[in-house]
A and B are shown apart, each in its own frame.
Chain A
Amino acid sequence: MKAAPLDLAVLRARLAAQPGRPFWRSLEEAADTEEFRAYLAAEFPACSLPAPAPDRRRFLQLMAASLAMSGLAACGRGGGNSRIVPNVRESQRLVPGLPTYYASAALLDGFANGIQVTTFDGRPVKVEGNEAHPWSRGGTDVFAQASVLQLYDPDRSQTVRRLGRISDWQTFGGVMAGHVAAIRAEHGRGLRLLTGPVTSPSLAAQIEALRTDFPEMHWHVLETVPRAAVRDAATTAFGRPLESIPRFDRAEVVVALDADFLDQGPQQVGLARRWSDARRASLATGRLLVLHAAAPSPTLTSAKADFPVVASSRGMAALADGLLADIAAGSSAAPGTDPASQWRARAAAALHAARGRGIVVAGAAQPAAVHLAAHRINAALGNTGTTVLHLTPATAPAEPIESLVAAMAAGAVSAVLMFDTNPVYTAPADLDFSAALARVPLKIHAGLHVDETANAADWHLPLSHPLEAWGDARAFDGTISMQQPTIMPLYDTRSAGELLSVIFEPASRSGLAILQDFWRGSRSAAAFFPGWDQSLRDGFIPGSAFPAETVRTPPAAAASALARTTGDLDLLIRPDPSVWDGSFANVGWLQELPKPLTKMTWDNLVAISPRTAERLHLDNGEIVEIVAGPRRTQGPVWITPGQADDAATITLGYGRGSAGSVADGVGFDAYALRTAASPWISSGVVLRRHGGRTPLATTQLHSTMEGHDFVRIQPLGAPPVGDNTAFTQPSFYPRLQTDGRSWGMVIDTDACIGCNACVVACQSENNIPVVGREQMLAARGMHWLRVDRYYGGPLDDPQTHFMPVPCMMCEQAPCEVACPVEATVHDHEGLNLMVYNRCVGTRACSGYCPYKVRRFNFHDYSAGAEPSLQAQRNPDVTVRAGGVMEKCTYCVQRIAAARVEADQAGRPIRDGEVRTACQQACPTRAITFGDLADRGSAVAHAFADPRNYALLGELNTRPHTTYLATLAPAAPPKPEG
């Protein structure tokens, strides 16, 4: 690597000049001095700042050396080569090398989940769930976990751009002053605001203030994952738009109509936790909380159902109405022989049996008719208000995008300000947004990236990442969550609130000021600040969740099953479980994250049922052309068990044109087939073989258990399927000698919903590199923790099981016998260690590992990472070199930290003091970790559970990671495959 031409002395000085947070600002200033020259030279700088990688890398190494105090010492001769650069002034808050934690909020579609951000020396390195947060209760989803990498995304927008050329805020402010004056003169006529969903009270208030300022201004919201159907159904049923929140803890039966309460989305973390808690509680009472689920396309919710059924896409509305009829009739009509109607009869009977203790819930992807049916059933059974509550939607009401496009096309829009949204990419294709946008004289876009919309706008403004900005947002249940910066903005960016202030307010306010002004209102400082500080410390405002609304009984209108054009197939368009609507597309962790059901990485797919595949003679990976009326696109086919025969499913977020080096050119664009009228589904779609196929980087080829019982099923009341035979077999080897402690992990397969939060958390905590599509194809993924997915039962109507597989920490570890250099050995706390610096890379340990949980650096994957990405790395975990084996360590760095803390206090490590990254991230608390030797520990109790069993225990490896069998109602739903 060549020596850096930029003035390193100055850099180092600036870096160390300020403690922690501030140096980041100087980092970019400093780096920019070098970049700007190269940058300004470029005639038409298209995407993000061209960064001379070697320089920036060298630069970060220096930063690492400077911060060597935080454990990042460079190897080599003592003295001479490396420097210690202390502060000039003492930093009060920050001790080098010790983590600092901030409570904040992670945003998805504007909704908040409570998080706690770990920072080292001013660098956020890990996002954890906020245990105290009343909605998310310590759980997180993949997006919250990955947001820290998004913060450091080197492709992020870093400067103001005018017509694609670099500019600055001052110039922008100057130019805007004129425009704003003109707009003001016209009372805001022609001014339009386009945003993503907004739940932030302060931002909503700012926009309200704008409205009073500019009476004729319009505010539009573009929902990429629309909840319109939910609101419409509620309006019809109860007279006003409401969200439904199931109270699983009061229920015995849940009937899910393509419901998504366990699937990725703003509702996932909170509802999944409530679901698993209720399920556990119901086990104790002996009356298992049973889930009946019908879905045209497999979801995590249907995967966890005790009674799943693959429902025809066209039949969903009919199925819902039929269920309603059954309930109304008090008994189900003689059920047909097809699985769907049998399912319907079973569900109806169950709902009857559990009057007032049942829940019927429909997913956001279903039309209003289905939601309406659900409302009516709940009302008829007296569930409404007891097991199903209705809350005010957290999103501030605004006009839809259609009216905006109409106005723009009509030339009635003189200026449009778009932030936190990427309409050119995400607007429904039939609106032809970009054409309309072209007619607007003044187009301003603010976003994290110089994305498709930015390239179409006159001005692009860099937006601050949630982790570096002040703000607030509501959780799905309305809980107001405070969002505070964990680092000074990496670049000269503004938050949405600051942006509005910059443009429209005479004296622009800081994000903090905006937030404080809003929440303080007219209160005195003395009255305000105590509560303010508390809410920042907690990360939320207690008791701010919406109260349950009392609603009228929905009018019994005639069931209105949608009239459907018959065609070849329905095309179901869903958000992607990994990259959502595309806003996370440039995050490597998420691109490389095996999707929960297909285990696919680096691609989106056209999911079709096995029968459809037979009918069309299609095979996995074959490229098909999807023809939906005038719109068409191509994508690879994936044969998906549990998919309805009359529907193909595609996911959003791929086929990006200008997202960044990671996402560009990956997958195909599903928005191209979307219509404003029916964003979730389009009928009469035809699949044509397009010829050719793409190799698809899936991480699991075999999907059945091949007759084994890797995942065990525990029917209620049946004799326990768990056993401890794995630990009672004789062995020639002496039992492991432990010094009191014996770490172990128990994973509840019944609670695991396969959401992948643990996988990303592990990657984030342990500096696990992203290896890219090619290496994934070569079966060289580096995930320490994988979630195996197994199918049971018939191909066309399968049972789905999830099984997270970390290192088993075998007491009699085969890998340890293999290693010639003692690079993998046991310590005295029952851990199977991996000593990277001793590993020579024979790979024998992996060959010997029956669980194949070991991962090998076939190339030097961690080298050459963008410097800003290196800044995310956890200083307490070694960055592995090429040719070295690695694996799950039970987050040994956390154990070590706890050990030091406990030893200094002269006390033992408390139960629950050490929480592994996967355990902490899990929204359903499926993972229990602790000291097996401590009889009183939670993990010891879980280990003693009759459901507890060891994976491949017969091999006598004595694994310390064990599993709890999946629960099933007394009558097992299906014979296991």
Chain B
Amino acid sequence: MTREYTVEDNGIIWYEENGVRVSFMADPANSDYQRYLNPEAEQSTPLGVE
């Protein structure tokens, strides 16, 4: 699912998903900001068992 991000004038970025608003600063150390920059970076397929 693609998230819709809003960027405020003060630089804060936020999205809302399942009734939860997540807002964050543009900080490279922030994992929410990393996902904003590169939403495809994380994998989500469990290993199960190799």
A binds B: no
Which B residues are within 8 Å of any A CB, using their own CB?
none
